Amino acid sequence: MAAELTVHALIAKHRPTLDQALEAIRTRAYWSPHPEHPKAYGEHGSLDAAAGKAAFDAVLGTRLDLGQPGTDDWVGGEVSPYGVELGVTYPHADVDVLLPAMKAGQRAWRDAGAEIRAVVCLEILKRISDRTHEFAHAVMHTSGQAFMMAFQAGGPHAQDRGLEAVAYAYVEQVRTPDTAEWTKPQGKRDPLALTKRFTPVPRGIALVIGCNTFPTWNGYPGLFASLATGNAVLVKPHPRAVLPLALTVSVAREVLAEAGFDPNLVALAAERPGEGIAKTLATRPEIRIIDYTGSTSFGDWLEANARQAQVHTEKAGVNTVLVESTGDYKGMLSNLAFSLSLYSGQMCTTPQNLLIPRDGIRTDQGPKSYDEVVADLARAVEGLLGDDARANALLGAIVNPGVKARLEAASGLGEVALASREVSNPDFPDAVVRTPVIVKLDGARKYWEGTDDEAAFMSECFGPVSFAVAVDSAADALDLVRRTVREKGAMTVGAYTTDEEVEEAVQEVCLEEAAQLSLNLTGGVYVNQTAAFSDFHGSGGNPAANAALTDGAFVANRFRVVEVRREA
């Protein structure tokens, strides 16, 4: 079906989109070329809902042969958080064969230049976009996200993040011209004159280490940033979330080959259970770039040990929302309730600690005591998730037994303001679906005395667990926000306040500690969501992540510029 691609045709097809992306990252206004609505798919070659589901079903139980060199085995054992065994097997690589094969095509890919690399990447993204319905099921049945979230976050939003990375990579490479004529006057003598040629060159092979919860959304920025800057890319998915990235690699290889490049520029490294190949791969001399999303401990290990590579890590953090006062009490509660519930709190951006003054807060509904705020928030969550169908659609499934265990342990950490309840999923009876728990803790006392509450709220408790932390004052809360970001890192900070001084102070804390701040969100935007081309995901300046999605620093060191100069 697919015709041979000419690079000229790809430029004609995708350059306008690239230009729009370049404009979007400059203005940071809203923009996306990837439709969010499932019904937008089904024309112009894209799969509609039924065709996407059929494509997903067709891959279940099969061997996904990517045609990679050095395949010495077939591995796989994904079980959906919804209880379905995927039964897909993937190539297991002999890396001593695969890595050299990945280098073979690098010269042609380098020589193609930044624009052709960019439009090839855009063609990959376009074909992924066309298969968004298929990818949605793959993301749903690996991450445990509910279908609609898997569709949007795993589809268009992930594609947006990939395109954003391509745009940054492109513009970074063309900041230096291809050639320059340099003529230096020498008074009465002839000028010195040189002709210079500048070539962006790749670092080598890039390694993407995928995560369980957002295989595409967190995987695409690094994958496309490295590929667009001329590197080959080896994708090592999380063993529980292989399929979405295996399909991605498959599309990338198909497009590369059709465009006349070596498909081995993108490859998959699936692993046997317990094999732990990430450590082996990460320290191979061929691997010069790493993008990782996951635990702090392995992220720290990579930063310390993968010294031959540029290492970009997104690790754990403790996200805080300061609740000091509000002019829209109802809006605040419903906004927070949604943030705590979405994907069962299994986002790196989900708020964990809600800091509430023990003397209560001012609201448009009159003063509310600490207990009232916590109770009203608990009721808001109950209301949001009272209907099981809606609860399933928002919560998705608990991604793995570790999260379930943490959730169950959380109720022992303090007074439970909102108990977690089991929700049954009629479509997937084996799915583990739970509403969030809210536990009351005391911030001020623990802050000074170092008792157990502090140990609880100063650790990341990944999953549907939030702590309503009583604090003595706004000033104490600000100190705690600062200390939390500095010591534990944070992907997000939220604050509700009508007090100009407090607003100013929380902004200053976030500027000084490099945390991304959402102020007084009461509508349909949530602290845990960021939009490509406009919002930065993480700051790269606190312990939660050493890079932000996406900025110049995320792409600038994935390539180097080599200059060749000669007399003119």
Report the interface residues with its own copies, using CB under 8 A: 25-30, 107, 110, 172, 175-177, 180-186, 192, 194, 196, 198-199, 201, 203, 303-304, 307, 507-508, 510-512, 514-525, 531, 534-536, 539-541, 548, 551-553, 556-557, 560-567
Residue 71 vs 528, nearer CB to its own copies: 528
With respect to its own copies, which residue has the nearer C-beta, 148 or 553? Answer: 553
Shortest Å, Cβ 201 to its own copies: 5
What separation, in Å, do the N-terminal and C-terminal C-alpha atoms of the chain show? 49
CB of 42 to its own copies, least distance (A): 18
Question: Least distance in Å: CB of 96 to its own copies?
Answer: 19
**Tokens found for residue 372:** 């009232």
| Shortest Å, Cβ 420 to its own copies | 30
Q: Which two tokens stand for residue 10?
A: 């790809």
User: In whole angstroms, how far apart are CA 210 and each of 244, 293, 335, 498?
Assistant: 10, 6, 30, 40
Per-residue tokens: 180 = 């320059």
What is the rounded distance in angstroms from the CA atom of residue 165 to the CA atom of residue 172? 10
- Cβ-based neighbours of 465, under 8 Å, separated by 6 or more: 345, 352, 406, 407, 410, 436, 437, 439
For residues 266 and 237, the answer to whether their CB atoms sit within 8 Å is: no
**Minimum gap (Å) between residue 380 Cβ and its own copies:** 18
State which residue, 436 or 541, has the beta carbon closest to its own copies: 541
Q: Which is nearer to its own copies, 185 or 401 (CB)?
A: 185
Q: Name which of 341 and 518 has its Cβ closer to its own copies.
A: 518
For its own copies, the closer CB: 273 or 524:
524
CB of 411 to its own copies, least distance (A): 33
* Closer residue to its own copies in complex, CB, 149/398: 149
Least distance to its own copies from the beta carbon of 304, Å? Answer: 7
CB proximity list for 81: less than 8 A, separation 6 or greater: 141, 142, 143, 144, 396, 397, 398, 399, 400, 431, 432
Instruction: Please report the sign of the dihedral spanned by the C-alpha atoms of residue 485, residue 487, residue 488, residue 489.
Output: positive
Burial class (CB in 10 A: 0-12, 13-18, 19+), 553: middle
3-state class (DSSP) for residue 28: coil
Cβ 297 to its own copies shortest distance, Å: 15
Cβ closest to its own copies, residue 195 vs residue 451:
195
H or E segment to which residue 458 belongs: none
**Beta carbon of residue 235, minimum distance to its own copies (angstroms, whole number):** 23
Which of residues 307 and 401 has its CB atom nearest to its own copies in the complex? Answer: 307
If one counts every other C-beta atom within 10 angstroms of the C-beta of residue 83, the result is 15
**Alpha-carbon distances, residue 60 vs 271, 458, 484 (angstroms):** 18, 41, 43
260 dihedral zone (left: phi>0; alpha: psi -120 to 50; beta):
left
What minimum distance in Å lies between the beta carbon of 535 and its own copies? 6
d(CA 90, CA 26): 40
Q: Which DSSP letter does residue 514 get?
A: T
Cβ distance to its own copies smaller for residue 199 or 295: 199
Hey, how many other C-beta atoms are within 10 angstroms of the C-beta on 55? 17
